[in-house]
Structure 1
Amino acid sequence: MERLTRTRNTSSFEFTPTVDMQSALAMEMLDAVSFDVGYDNLLTEILSSYFIGVYTLCRILHKPKISTNPSMNIQTDRPFVVVNYDSSTLSIPMLRAIELGCTVFVVDEDATQIFLDTYIQTHDETIFRRPEKYFLLTIQSTGTVATSHLQMIKHHPTLQEIANLLIAVSNGTSIELLTHHYVGCLPGSTDLLHLDTYQPENRTFLHGNDLFPNKLDDLMGKPMRVATFHLLPWAMMRQTDDGIVRYLNQSYTIDGLDGYILIQFCLWYNCTWELTVDQKNQYGVVFANRTGNGMIGALVERKVDFAIGAVGGWYQLYQYFSFSNPIMWIGVTCLTPRPKLIASWKIIFLMFTKPVWLVLGLTFILLALFEYFLPVQTVILRKKSLSRSFLNLFGAFLLLPSDLRQGRAPEIIFSVSLLIFTFLVGYVYIGKIHSVLAVPVFEPPISSIYDLAMSNKYWNAPHEAWMYALIGSENPYIQKILSKFRATPIEALESIANIGEQAMVLAVLNYGHYMVGTWFTAENIENYRLMSENVYFEYDTAYTSKTWPMMDKFNYIAGLIRDACLYQYVELVDVYRYMNYRVQVSIEHSRDKPHNVLKPFGVDSIEGGLLLLGFGYLTAAAALVYELVSRDLKRKKIARRVAAKWKMLAHKRKNHN
């Protein structure tokens, strides 16, 4: 192990006390009886040899009072934070110290118990994260007291979160330096090992061994706890006899993009995985009281150390976990309903936009009124009705022969202008509709975020985690599609896919394949078309607890796999092995345009005309019936009047006689 840890520029640290200031702070916190000069020299030697480049050192004490006669005098020029635990503050001073960047902890004997008790809770609440931490526990007692203290340390559960541990125990004449095994399985992983002996008289180490040996390169079968769930093509559990994953007391291996990393990690560092699966809740949720369900719920409750499975760097979860380096790119988009053929009768009205139709309608009405009210020379022409003017103009708009004015100059100018206008508009319409009707006409596709927002269609995903990356966006179109997002149970997704009326979420993998659920089949995938624009993209990451010491090792092995382009091979193999490849091909070609085959006119081609003709005939028939009924009622009314008058005349004649 290198004696220099990863460094940070200490010039950015606001408080950098001198050696004398640090000594004064330390001396105020320690009792002269607790520490002799041997411990001072030992700690000074260790800190100056192993931690030259650390950001901040942290001295942990537990004193009810600040001593006025301290004797500790640790010589170091590193930024030094002194934390004194007391019954009223507990982990608050420690929390502040960690936020200052503490990665090396020198813990006094009296503070060891409370430090280990609050270690996990304190780190869970911090913002500062660094997995590589070092711990120096000093035990000044001897005999049974020291033995009891060592047993407490050995059996403390927090020891499983600590890899770099050094315990200094006095034997009266020298100081024994111990560590714990860490690797392997319990209870052997907590066994204490003797590293070296420090001789205060001549300030030397008896054997000169490394006091912080590298324990992480060979974990000797140490079980690591991981949470994931069956997710194509990321994690697919497969039972095998020689697997390095234990699940339900059976041996498994894990295929998939993330499963490959897990397997390679343990093959590289000689460990095993204890798997936790919550298939029902999938990603799960985290509640405000730091409980949860699913994959991330198991991690926040520390049932596992590690969680992976196509998760991004979601801001909502950053306060709870540490995130690994980005593993691979993921694009999230949608499969939208495939554009349908437009009915022929609708095409008649789609040649012009609504504003154009409105302008043409107003123009038609104004021209008809203008022709009607335009003065004429003869009384005969003046007697034409208003309906005659509208019909005459309607024929002109349809390029039919019309009885246009041609007497005086104003009438001729009016007629010529009308002919030019109707000629231009009519032939533009005819040419456009003929060119459109020659090939099939489809609805416009949903290709972008704007199109999806304007379509007002719901888009479905099996879990709300698919929209975590969009929360907080100020884009109005993003906000609109968020209001249309639905976390649909997996059981209902296949029926929605079969109907093909709603959008379905989809992930584009780094090397061109698609993360698509089993609810898509070779039949219902033909109902969908892939959007051209991604809704968003993110990077696959892994989540760990803030104290898991193997984070840097995981980042290293994941980076090696990425740089070697092995994910491309794994993606190809697992997609071909576990997913419907016909669905993959259909999605890839879903944006292909259909062949422009000439379409012969059929009945559907004149459907619009037939509808208009039928509507006209029905209206005419209704008008005819109205006229006949009105005429019949009028005749009956006249007959009754004639009969009444005849009866009145007959009555008068009779009275006269």
Structure 2
Amino acid sequence: MDSMVFLLQIILQKYMSHSYCLSIISENNVYLPTNTTSVRFGTIDLDNILATLDMGCSDFVIQVDDPIHFAIVLEKVLFLSNTRRGDRKFIFVPKRLDDSDELLNVLQTGIFTYIPNVILIVPTNKKVEADENCEDYDIVTHKFVGPYEEDIKIPIVLDRWNSCRKVFERNENLFPHDIANMYGRTVKVACFMYPPFVILNLDKQVSRNGRDGLDMRVVDELCSWINCTIEVVDVGAGQWGTVYPNATGTGVLGAVAMGKADFGITSLGYWDKPYPMMDFSAYTFLISVTNLVPKPRLLSRWELPIIAFSFPMWMVTIFSMVYSWLALVLAQHGSTNNAWLNIWRIMMAQPCKLESSWRSQFVLLGPVVTGLIINAAYSAGLSSLFTIPNYEKSIDTVEDLLESGLEWGAPDIAWVYSISSAKDERHMRIVDKFRLLTPSQLKARGENQTIALSIELLPAGCLAIGGGEAITTDILNNYQLLTEDLFFGVSTVAARKNSPYVAKLNDRILRLIEAGLLLAWDSQISLKYQDVKVKMAIKYSRNAEPPTTAPLNLVAIGGIFMILVAGIIVSFIVFLVEMAQGRQKHKKETM
């Protein structure tokens, strides 16, 4: 075993000298001097391993009796830890010279299917003929690359080391899997149909792979660089989905958290709730999330007599009448005889019977002047309302939307993931107004203009509407864009936690941004796949139509006639009441 310790020191010196921290788990308490900070354990303990990971110890040397148990614990620890590394190195050392089979079984565990840097020091148990004291050790890893999933776990001998010569036979790189060439390895990508980010089931003549989209092009570009093969995992109606604390879930997020997919795409953002269970790449696109709100509708004609004055103006008018009535009552020495009727007649520009008292005549002079001004202002306002179309108040800003009480909706709760944990009042109100609705419900409420529609806008013209194809141009013609955004977000790629692909993916994304290809794709996808009528309806939704005039008709003065009819009905009821009271009084007098 001394020779094996010497071999281990050689490997550590060559491949782990720059490690920040090294974790050594040895049930034999093997002494292993290193120039790197190290933490040593005598048993497999989940809490201790988790603590070392959070301290930054990314590389491991393992010498235990049950390496399979370590692999199981490691999978749990990597899920619980807050640190993320795709380049961790693992060296398994046999506890006894006859433990070769136990070590080789480690490569068959699920966790090492996704960890590239793992080697086993396997004794050959064959004595060299020249010297019985010499021992050979094979350095073994898994294939990891290749197009066939069943071949990934196949053990491969990288090199052999002789304890007497103290040299490697082939002097190979003992950690060869640098994700530079995956030799066609299948990479599973979870997504769903959501233009312009993911477009599936295309004709092969339109798109070579039968798929396209902004996010899809990003992962396609990665695989063209590192030579991998994409397998689409269509989550369908699950859409973005959600994740649960036990690492299960639904939709795209659930597929990544449960390990059913290597990547998750389709306009994913930096969302805090799924983050503990997965990694996110550098962002690819900046997205503004906003609303399409109903255009202002024509006011009902019956409302026109009321809205000719604003609410404060109506209050001033009523106050003037009440104040004048009180003044007239005082001028008449407390008598209310005809006081209110005279004030009402004057305000309505009708003749009234003047009192002989100079005090009453002086008091009535004020209502005459006030009534003249109010009548002139009301007539002018009413005539303009009768001829020029009048609309409801326009919803232009986010504050207007919140004050209007209008709800906004989308088919998935992921639309508010980015701001669901926000603590400021504005974003909390935005989340409170959100409603989870199916595309058919969004269509029905959109036709009635009782819901604000969600929309994502990208820098170069692409857009995505919550509700998809259910939101037609007929609906959009009655909607307009807010003049400001609800909030900003980004599009990113979700990956399995501690994925070895993330570093390469980030590198590729930054190169695509530097080359300007992402913006070019934005324009290309927009021109190639998106409905021009829909885009134009949204782009020019705020172009105001010029005001038009119309001749006065019966419908326009319907509100006036409604007031007249209401007055006649009230008068008739009062007349009947007075008649009944008069008859009752006459009966009492005759008795």
TM-score range for the pair, normalised by the shorter chain length: 0.7 to 0.9
1:216 to 175, 179, 192: 179
**Are residues 1:571 and 2:536 paired?**
no
Q: How does 1:371-520 map to 2 (within 5 A)?
A: 371-375=328-332, 386=337, 388-398=338-348, 408=358, 414-415=363-364, 417-476=366-425, 478-516=427-465, 517-520=468-471
Question: Structure 2 matches for 1:62-461, cutoff 5 A?
Answer: 62=27, 70=30, 72-76=31-35, 78-86=36-44, 89=45, 91-108=46-63, 110=65, 112-139=67-94, 141-142=96-97, 145-171=98-124, 172-173=134-135, 175-184=137-146, 185-198=148-161, 205=168, 207-238=170-201, 253-375=210-332, 386=337, 388-398=338-348, 408=358, 414-415=363-364, 417-461=366-410
Preserved contact between residue 201 and residue 211 of structure 2 (Cα < 8 Å): yes
Give the CA deviation at 1:202. Answer: 7.1
Tell me the C-alpha RMSD between the 2 structures.
3.3
Hey, what's the Cα distance between the residues in 1 that align with 2:290 and 2:262?
31
Q: Which amino acid aligns with 2:33?
A: I
Question: Among residues 517, 531, 546, which one is paired with 2:482 in the alignment?
Answer: 531
Asked if the contact 1:170–1:176 (Cα under 8 Å) also holds between the matched residues in 2, the reply is: yes
CA deviation after TM superposition for structure 1 residue 550, in Å: 0.8
Change (3 A) 1:105 1:437: farther
- Structure 2: which amino acid aligns with 1:182? F
* Cα separation, partners in 2 of 1:432 and 1:204, compared to 1, 3 Å: farther
- Distance (whole Å) between structure 2 residues aligned to residue 401 and residue 630 of structure 1: 30
Partner-residue secondary structure (3-state), 2:488: strand
State whether residues 344 and 607 of structure 1, in contact with CA within 8 Å, keep that contact through their aligned partners in structure 2.
yes
Counterpart residue identity of residue 435, structure 2? R
The answer to whether the 8 A contact 2:409-2:452 is kept is yes
- C-alpha change, 1:186 and 1:424, in structure 2 (3 Å) is same
Aligned to 2:129: none
In 2, the alpha carbon distance for the partners of 1:241 and 1:505 equals: 32
Asked whether the equivalents of residues 321 and 367 of structure 2 are also in contact (C-alpha less than 8 Å), the reply is no
Q: 2:15 maps to which residue? A: 50
Q: When the two structures are superposed, what TM-score results if normalisation uses the length of structure 2? A: 0.87
Q: Give the whole-Å Cα distance in 1 for the aligned partners of 2:212 and 2:440.
A: 24
Aligned partner of 1:4 in structure 2 is none
Offset at residue 503 of structure 1 (A): 2.3
Distance 1:425 1:73, change over 3 A: same
Q: What's the CA shift for 1:429? A: 4.1
Is the CA contact 1:372–1:389 (under 8 Å) kept in the aligned structure 2?
yes
C-alpha change, 1:627 and 1:186, in structure 2 (3 Å) is closer
**Superposition TM-score, scaled by structure 1 size:** 0.79
Determine the structure 2 residue equivalent to 1:6.
Answer: none
Q: Structure 1 residues 513 and 390, CA, compared in 2 at 3 Å: closer, same or farther?
A: farther
CA gap of 1:406–1:318, structure 2 versus 1, over 3 A, is: farther
- Taking the aligned partners of 1:612 and 1:491, their CA distance within structure 2 comes to 41
- Judged with a 3 Å threshold, the aligned counterparts in structure 2 of structure 1 residues 616 and 140 are, in CA distance, closer, same or farther, namely closer
Question: What secondary structure does 1:450 align onto?
Answer: helix
CA distance in 1, matches of 2:570, 2:295: 38
Percent identity of paired positions between Structure 1 and Structure 2 = 23
Which blocks of at least 5 consecutive residues in structure 1 are unaligned?
1-34, 245-250, 377-381, 645-657
SS at match of 1:273: strand
What whole-Å deviation, never above 9, does each CA across 1:501-555 have from its counterpart, x for those lacking one?
Answer: 2222222233343202111112122232222232222211222221321111122
Structure 2: stretches of 5+ with no match in the other structure: 125-133
Q: Which amino acid aligns with 1:448?
A: T
Greater Cα radius of gyration, structure 1 or 2? 1
Alpha-carbon deviations, 1:355-375, whole Å to 9, x = none? 442343133112112113204
Query: Could you tell me how far apart the structure 2 residues matched to 1:153 and 1:369 are?
Result: 99
SS in structure 1 at match of 2:556: helix
Aligned length: 579
- Structure 1 CA distance, aligned partners of 2:310 and 2:22? 73
The answer (yes or no) to whether the contact 1:452–1:481 under 8 Å persists in 2 is no
**Maintained 8 Å contact 2:86/2:115:** no
CA distance in 1 between counterparts of 2:166 and 2:24 reads: 22
- Deviation, 1:484, is 4.1
